[in-house]
Amino acid sequence: MGFDSQIFNARHWMYLTLAACITAAAPAIAFEGKKGVPSNPDPCTEAPQTTQLKWIPLKNTPDTQVVVDPLLLGGPHPKAHGLIYIVNGNGFGALHYKDLATYYAERGYIVAIAMRPGGGLHTVEMLNHLQSLRSELRLPRLFPIALVGHSRGGGTVLEMAQRNFSDGLGFVIPAIVSIAPNVVDVGLVNGRATNGFLALYGSQDEDMQGVGNPLREGFAAYDHIGTEANTACTSLPCTMSEPSPTVDKAMVYVYGGDHGGFVGVGGKFPNGAMDYLDPADQLCVTKAYTMGLLRWKLQGLEIYKGLLRGDWTPASVAAIVSSKADYAGHPAGTPLNRFVQFSPSVRSVVADFQDAADVVSSAGMKTAIEDINASGLNAFRHDTRSLALMRAPSKQGEWAMIGVPEAQRDATGMDRLSLRIGQIATGAAASANPKGQDQAIWIGLGDGGGHFVYQRVQDWGRIPYPDLRNTFTPAHYHMNTVDIPLSAFAGIDLSDIRHVVLWSDALKRGEFSVDNIEFVSE
């Protein structure tokens, strides 16, 4: 069955946003802020909404497994929250996704497990298959669809969304999830192809190990969807390369996460010694964060934005510990290390470093704006240009100062200063990061009156040393997002911010990658 060529437009998207806010009221929720306190709700361990599930045989798509509570299916207005379309990875069959599919169905979704017909992306075949499935289930045209892909399927779902957007195929796709993805041969995805994106990736992925070129793992998947460009401004002149709405995107990077573990499958690959997180615990991470995205984007529950942004952690995820020692020498029972990147759809960009930026620095702080992976740092798997900082020990503090573009100087309508930051390794011994240690640096804002106020980045988020592989070498140098409330910069004139400063204390050494310095709102 071919595609329906009706154009998917902004009015349809607005209708979806309203229609997806299911009439069930949001549960009473209590949660703490960004200081590591476990929070409710807990999607991983909560009780199912329904257990009256049925696996439905299909006539037109007999190779697809569909599970749903029959009471939520049928009629012109199905009661289910949406259709979740799971696309398999190479070497993984329907049974490997049964637990995850059942979990989604128990929480009010129609779930289909679809098998790609071979090892490639098979984008066109899967879109035709989705069309046939939607017709056979008699789902309305505007019924929301979440695409969930694993491994090679994680690349397929991105291509499906881009093709749907570029060709106007009419599917409404508010959310995409790429689990341990392989995005080789996947092009850039327009930020308006979906409303929400989540990537899950682990440091011990035995298949997508993250070595050599091309860049194709979770970091690249995150960097390839949408742009880093400005989508909001507070004063003229204002330039925006991509109009809103753009995608809210997140990535959860898990130390110890492996290729099959995120779907609850252990022992799939021969490098079993790398697996120091139990597959059941990794599946819990998948359930918690994917359900957070689904409830935010398909059910309209804004509280889950905080989960994707890293503001709070479900109790079940916070309780996860390693099942055996890792290669860095941490014993069994070590708490889970997981790091979040998040980019909101509306942001006032100070610097994304894709082009030239206004950067000056002290003599002891070397800076470079470059594609760090292209410079030879293979363990750095982000596919983006960023600001590299290299600081050797000296008797005084060293700094780098970024000028704020005129159109972004008024941040009075924003709530947070946000940036991506992580450790890198250039090979220079004088500035090399101490092994096995988190890093520390200050960030400051300066206004037009010459006032500067600083906050310690490590008070709001970690700058961790990489996890180690079985070769006892770093798995991936990586960035994660750190948000600091603008209210923490007391005394600064938020209507006239002229500079962002990164300051390193005296006698410190270190190498950092910094990207996506932005003012964002709640």
Yes or no: say if 369 and 353 are a contact pair by the CB < 8 Å rule: yes
- Given 290, 320, 343, the domain boundary residue is 343
pTM of the model: 0.90
- For residue 28, tell me if it sits in a domain: no
Domain harbouring 384, CATH code: 2.60.120.430
Residues 339, 351 within the same domain: no
Residues 309, 393 within the same domain: no
Report helix, strand or coil for 152.
helix
- Rounded to whole angstroms, the Cα distance separating 443 from 285 reads 31
- For residue 314, tell me if it sits in a domain: yes
Q: Count CB neighbours of 460 within 10 A.
A: 17
- Given 321, 343, 365, the domain boundary residue is 343
Yes or no: say if 289 and 307 are a contact pair by the CB < 8 Å rule: yes
- For residue 33, tell me if it sits in a domain: no
Judged on CB neighbours under 10 Å (0-12, 13-18, 19+), 241 is exposed
502 φ/ψ sector (left φ>0, alpha ψ -120 to 50, else beta)? beta
- For residue 43, tell me if it sits in a domain: no
Residues 138, 169 within the same domain: yes
- For residue 106, tell me if it sits in a domain: yes
Residues 367, 485 within the same domain: yes
- For residue 31, tell me if it sits in a domain: no
- For residue 183, tell me if it sits in a domain: yes
Yes or no: say if 412 and 521 are a contact pair by the CB < 8 Å rule: no
Residues 174, 276 within the same domain: yes
What total number of domains does the chain contain? Answer: 2
- For residue 1, tell me if it sits in a domain: no
Closest CA to 354 of 187, 220, 228, 498: 228
Residues 183, 140 within the same domain: yes
Report helix, strand or coil for 285.
helix
Domain interval for residue 155: 10-21+54-229+243-343
In the 8-state DSSP scheme, what is residue 443? E
Residues 429, 511 within the same domain: yes
Residues 332, 415 within the same domain: no
Residues 417, 374 within the same domain: yes
Residues 284, 401 within the same domain: no
- Rounded to whole angstroms, the Cα distance separating 299 from 353 reads 35
Domain harbouring 144, CATH code: 3.40.50.1820
- Ranges of beta strands (E only) in 54-127 are 54-56, 65-68, 83-87, 110-114
Any residues with CB less than 8 A from the CB of 11 and at least 6 apart, and which? none
Residues 355, 338 within the same domain: no
- Rounded to whole angstroms, the Cα distance separating 93 from 116 reads 10
Closest CA to 133 of 92, 171, 180, 94: 171
- Given 343, 378, 405, the domain boundary residue is 343
- Rounded to whole angstroms, the Cα distance separating 381 from 224 reads 12
- Rounded to whole angstroms, the Cα distance separating 404 from 331 reads 45
Residues 196, 283 within the same domain: yes
Yes or no: say if 147 and 183 are a contact pair by the CB < 8 Å rule: no
Ordered per-residue pLDDT tens for the chain, 522 residues: 333 323 223 323 332 333 333 323 223 323 333 444 444 799 999 999 999 999 998 888 888 999 999 999 988 889 999 999 999 999 999 999 999 999 999 999 999 999 999 889 999 999 999 999 999 999 999 999 999 999 999 999 999 999 999 999 999 999 999 999 999 999 889 888 999 999 999 999 989 988 888 889 999 999 999 888 777 755 555 555 544 457 999 999 999 999 999 999 987 776 545 679 999 999 999 999 999 999 999 999 999 999 999 999 999 999 999 999 999 999 999 999 999 999 998 889 999 998 889 999 999 999 999 887 766 566 888 989 999 999 999 999 999 999 999 999 999 999 999 999 999 998 899 999 999 999 999 999 999 999 999 999 999 999 999 999 888 889 999 999 999 999 999 999 999 999 999 999 999 999 999 999 999 987
